Amino acid sequence: MENKFSISDLASEFQVTTRTIRFYEEKGLLTPVRRGSVRLYGPRERVKLKLILRGRRLGFSLDESRDIIEMYDPESENVKQLQSLLEKIHEKQGQLEAQKKEVNSMLKDLKIAEKNCLDAISHPG
């Protein structure tokens, strides 16, 4: 069975528990296929999980990750919907640019802290 993953395949690949993956399904973020009662994950679901976890590392809520997934994988072909989706995309892009700036600010501040620390070590008293 190429191309299909079990729940524990994904769990060990991404270092999360199976509980977490099922939880994301409960919340409607993942929709694996079933063979009997057993979940099977295709590449599409794998990508979704990847997106959720990347979002998690960036401090996103599951609802935000849900939005991100929708941007990747639009449910509608309706032009109206696609345009509002486009707006959401632009908004998210703005947020991410802002986040980058905050990361950079913190990096700057850490450089200062590093310098202060080095000074205090080499130049005690």
Partner DNA sequence: ATTGACGTTGACGTTAACGTAAAGCAAGCG
Partner DNA sequence: CGCTTGCTTTACGTTAACGTCAACGTCAAT
- Where on the chain is the footprint of its own copies (CB under 8 A)? 51, 54-55, 57-60, 68, 71-72, 74, 77, 79, 82-83, 85-86, 89-90, 92-93, 96-97, 99-100, 102-107, 109-110, 113-114, 116-118, 120-121, 124
**Whole-number minimum distance, CB 14 to its own copies, in Å?**
14
**Among its own copies, DNA, none, residue 4 binds (CB under 5-8 Å by kind):** none
Question: What is the DSSP secondary structure assignment for residue 73, as one 8-state letter?
Answer: S
**Among its own copies, DNA, none, residue 90 binds (CB under 5-8 Å by kind):** its own copies
CB 72 within 8 A of CB 52: no
> Using the rule CB under 7 A, which residue among 23, 67, 70, 89 binds DNA?
23
The whole-angstrom separation of Cα 108 and Cα 92 is: 24
**Among DNA, its own copies, none, residue 7 binds (CB under 5-8 Å by kind):** DNA
> Using the rule CB under 7 A, which residue among 4, 14, 20, 71 binds DNA?
20
DSSP per residue, 3-34: T-B-HHHHHHHHT--HHHHHHHHHTTS---EE
Question: Is 75 in a helix, a strand, or coil?
Answer: coil
User: Helices 43-57 and 7-14 sit at what angle, rounded to 10 degrees?
Assistant: 30
